Structure 1
């Protein structure tokens, strides 16, 4: 069984045909997903978020899995596709059958129905007409979502009270006078000019419809779902194990991983202490950070300055890493740094459109009132979200249409693979000399420390394990966890509250960064041992990234066939 030769067009196989057919069905079921990929033809539509939509998705999964039965891989690409589809689709089916409808502060339909507008082009009157059409469909999308939340509630499966309350606030914030929908409609322009009066009026009316739907959604959450929401944030072992597999694409021993997280946290703190001494001999970590924060050369004021700095760092990384340490084809050289239109906190990446007409983008959602930023703390984040992090990884998969089928390129995303790679990339940039400055090194360690702390927090709180004695006593609770995170996450109060709520409402996702990095490093080290003197790190990275995003157990099997 051989791999496809890079640069050649691989002839699609029967397994590719099943994968492509399933991808096409996904686009039909989730037209807003098509928008996220830049695929035309579905600009005003939403998927069906109701129980009927969930059943249709489950039926599509079963059809695809039946289609794979009896098929024999023709090459290594096929073998990985078969492995990945059986793992991912089988898991998706388990999640649907769990009866849980997700509601949280970051990655549920409550946010996604609004967030798709951020990815819609706004250059022409026709594109604004598409936005208007989708605004008119927001009420239907939210109504379907409410149906699913009601069905889950009837099974006794309701998000924790904390999550319901935060989403109520988000929904009302989107819908308030001068909020997101008002700003979207009032700021509409086409090619630098105003819209035709009829379209402008329609856009304003549909923006009010969308805002009204979010107000109705908030009322449903407050009056019907909130009274049924449990106070307890912990989701328990059964659901947590399912979510851990979802985000890692691998089965791990949760207790062993928890103990490793504690050890990794201690190791990173010791490394920070050593770097603090480089900032000033004898300085503590906290003192070193105060010195770095007071350095005018490391300060930015305002989001315009932040955006320009991000873009400059990103462009430099692409220019200097291309063809030296990584393969970066020409279409991937463009990466846009953006200030997000929301103020929820968080930094994230969105991939390029399938044709690269819309580039990959790095977004910074700046909490309200925050306008001072320190470069030493954020340099590593630019590499995490951009190159060699998410942009290199996601755009490579999109680019590899010569080898990968549509499902592999565009629909298979595993957090532990993606976020694990991005953390791996941060540490790699230290090794390549891009974080040699003690401040930038400290910032990278801060981010790694955050990710280690949330392995401990996330597993500890949701499984209600005992706290390590040096951090507390007795079983974990959310309240103890907040104090713990405040010691290890050196971020603003607004960002800390956002992150804390995120971990509680999105179980298993936060640990996938550091655990994913651990698994990436284990696979690389095993491959180095297998290849011996012939091991080539750049070639390893290219081979791994050209696989696209897959579960980490699938990645291990693809890169270590004998393992």
Structure 2
């Protein structure tokens, strides 16, 4: 192992010791403890690790192309983290629905459960939740004292989320049964539920009255967020204008597709028709349909446009009835591959599930989307540094997953009634995300000169982004609390498509070989992605 690869490995090990919750979420092998310190001292320790690793990296010279790539990636990611710390972002780590409290809760569900020893670790992680939430509250209060408030809307949104988590670990406890760990599990779950309730009260009664009124984060924080999410410096004003143009282009394509389904009908009428005719009823039927679509995608792609390793030829499809998220999501395999890659599907209180609109998301979250991309990294072994195997750049990852949806269209997979319109609606959603996110956080005007509000963002997402009604509030809340993440899908897809177009112009282009080589690169910032792909 070269000094640079050793430094990458050492950083992951030390980072996991300082943040065991993230280690669980990432599926790292090893025993790193059960609790992350979310107090100011914990954040200071992680910041020091970032800075000391950057300082050590500066003393090392790459000895190969793999070394250079590992060093460049480590430096770019840690510099983005350093900027995050420099503007005090840990003191404002409060966002719904995909924020810290969701990560804490979901990390419990990702723990192994085979045997009583594994269940004792589950109980220990549950028992550590109150202390972790207390440390988080201490940091948030310190942020208020430093003049670093988060928007009141996020505080109240997370309070609602925390309330909904009360009681959600009871199913986990019941699933264990009456074995020797039952009482320990029950006590830990009860303490965790009490901590959720206490956090909800704190956010409503203590934090919200001192929170910020404005939802937007402003140009300084947005620039840092863009760099972190994209791995590139992009002009947000250019991206805002491109987002509106892209939304209009997609709407034109949707109109053509809609007319082919019900000539003369509006998009809302066509959507209502499809909702009434292209669905499955009940969670069990939905789960069966999802599994069938995941399996079919793997069968049709393996050996054709991808060589899918044996370990990745199954996706664990999970319904998530207690989720407060508006959208499905993916969690990658563990480092030792004992935990499979999973797609998680919120039910949103529904009993009918529109298959015409959900098919495209199967390809996004599963195959050829996140499961192939993150799975390829998981099975890469020593070809990639350990840091590369366990880092994530949203522009790279979400851009690939949106490219995967586009690839499904190119392969003719949207032949069932309405499914191509569903894919286009998902594209419109992602374009709407670009304009909502940039417009809100930088306070840019809409084309008609009006200004963004939460209600205006919901209307644009529903009417032009074609979002399903049950997802709109959670989606917009997410954009307002997680700046620059929502833009990564379309801007990332644009980078992937541009890179593929350049490769296709070369003699002897082979799409399967290109896919393999592209995924073998591991995660890259958009600033270096096209350069790296051009060298393939």
TM-score (norm 1): 0.91
| CA positional deviation for 1:260 | 0.5
The one-character-per-residue Cα deviations of 1:428-478 (angstroms, maximum 9, x if unpaired) are 110011123451110000000000011011111111111012xxx323232
Aligned to 1:535: 509
Determine if contact 1:34/1:42 at 8 Å carries over to the other structure: no
Provide the C-alpha distance between the structure 1 equivalents of 2:271 and 2:201, rounded to a whole number of angstroms: 44
| CA positional deviation for 1:353 | 1.0
Q: How does 1:517-532 map to 2 (within 5 A)?
A: 517-529=493-505, 532=506
| CA positional deviation for 1:37 | 3.4
**Is residue 158 of structure 1 aligned with residue 138 of structure 2?**
no
3-state SS in 1 of match to 2:484: coil
3-state SS in 2 of match to 1:234: coil
| Closer/same/farther in 2, CA of residues 195 and 544 from structure 1, 3 Å limit | same
Provide the C-alpha distance between the structure 1 equivalents of 2:442 and 2:289, rounded to a whole number of angstroms: 41
Aligned to 2:253: 271
| CA positional deviation for 1:417 | 0.6
Determine if contact 1:418/1:549 at 8 Å carries over to the other structure: yes
Provide the C-alpha distance between the structure 1 equivalents of 2:381 and 2:430, rounded to a whole number of angstroms: 33
| Closer/same/farther in 2, CA of residues 220 and 281 from structure 1, 3 Å limit | closer
| CA positional deviation for 1:84 | 1.1
3-state SS in 2 of match to 1:337: strand
Aligned to 2:386: 406
Provide the C-alpha distance between the structure 1 equivalents of 2:471 and 2:404, rounded to a whole number of angstroms: 23
**Is residue 182 of structure 1 aligned with residue 170 of structure 2?**
yes
Aligned to 1:77: 66
- How many residue pairs match? The answer is 533
Alignment counterpart, residue 178 of structure 2, candidates 195, 206, 209: 195
Alignment counterpart, residue 457 of structure 1, candidates 425, 432, 436: 436
Aligned to 1:436: 415
Provide the C-alpha distance between the structure 1 equivalents of 2:529 and 2:109, rounded to a whole number of angstroms: 32
Q: Which runs of 5+ in 1 are unaligned?
A: 1-11
Provide the C-alpha distance between the structure 2 equivalents of 1:39 and 1:459, rounded to a whole number of angstroms: 34
Alignment counterpart, residue 213 of structure 2, candidates 220, 231, 247: 231
Alignment counterpart, residue 416 of structure 1, candidates 363, 374, 395: 395
Alignment counterpart, residue 347 of structure 1, candidates 328, 335, 343: 328
Alignment counterpart, residue 521 of structure 2, candidates 541, 544, 547: 547
Provide the C-alpha distance between the structure 2 equivalents of 1:509 and 1:417, rounded to a whole number of angstroms: 11
Determine if contact 1:99/1:155 at 8 Å carries over to the other structure: no
Aligned to 2:45: 56
| CA positional deviation for 1:294 | 2.6
Aligned to 1:9: none
Aligned to 1:502: 478
Determine if contact 2:17/2:33 at 8 Å carries over to the other structure: no
| CA positional deviation for 1:527 | 3.1
| CA positional deviation for 1:540 | 1.6
Provide the C-alpha distance between the structure 1 equivalents of 2:64 and 2:178, rounded to a whole number of angstroms: 53
Provide the C-alpha distance between the structure 1 equivalents of 2:407 and 2:520, rounded to a whole number of angstroms: 18
Determine if contact 2:29/2:336 at 8 Å carries over to the other structure: no
Provide the C-alpha distance between the structure 2 equivalents of 1:402 and 1:20, rounded to a whole number of angstroms: 11
Alignment counterpart, residue 427 of structure 2, candidates 429, 432, 448: 448
The one-character-per-residue Cα deviations of 1:331-375 (angstroms, maximum 9, x if unpaired) are 1111111001523132000001112111100001222x3111111
Provide the C-alpha distance between the structure 2 equivalents of 1:129 and 1:158, rounded to a whole number of angstroms: 38
Q: Which runs of 5+ in 2 are unaligned?
A: none
Provide the C-alpha distance between the structure 1 equivalents of 2:445 and 2:228, rounded to a whole number of angstroms: 25
**Is residue 475 of structure 1 aligned with residue 451 of structure 2?**
yes
The one-character-per-residue Cα deviations of 1:84-124 (angstroms, maximum 9, x if unpaired) are 11111011011012112311112322221111111012232
Determine if contact 1:243/1:507 at 8 Å carries over to the other structure: yes
Determine if contact 2:429/2:467 at 8 Å carries over to the other structure: no
The one-character-per-residue Cα deviations of 1:359-392 (angstroms, maximum 9, x if unpaired) are 100001222x311111110100000000000000
* Range 280-289 or range 500-509, more displaced: 280-289
Determine if contact 2:373/2:397 at 8 Å carries over to the other structure: yes
Q: How does 1:92-103 map to 2 (within 5 A)?
A: 92-100=81-89, 101-103=92-94
**Is residue 514 of structure 1 aligned with residue 490 of structure 2?**
yes
Q: How does 1:279-428 map to 2 (within 5 A)?
A: 279-295=261-277, 298-344=278-324, 345-367=326-348, 369-410=349-390, 412-428=391-407
- What CA RMSD, in Å, does the superposition of the two structures yield over aligned residues? 1.7
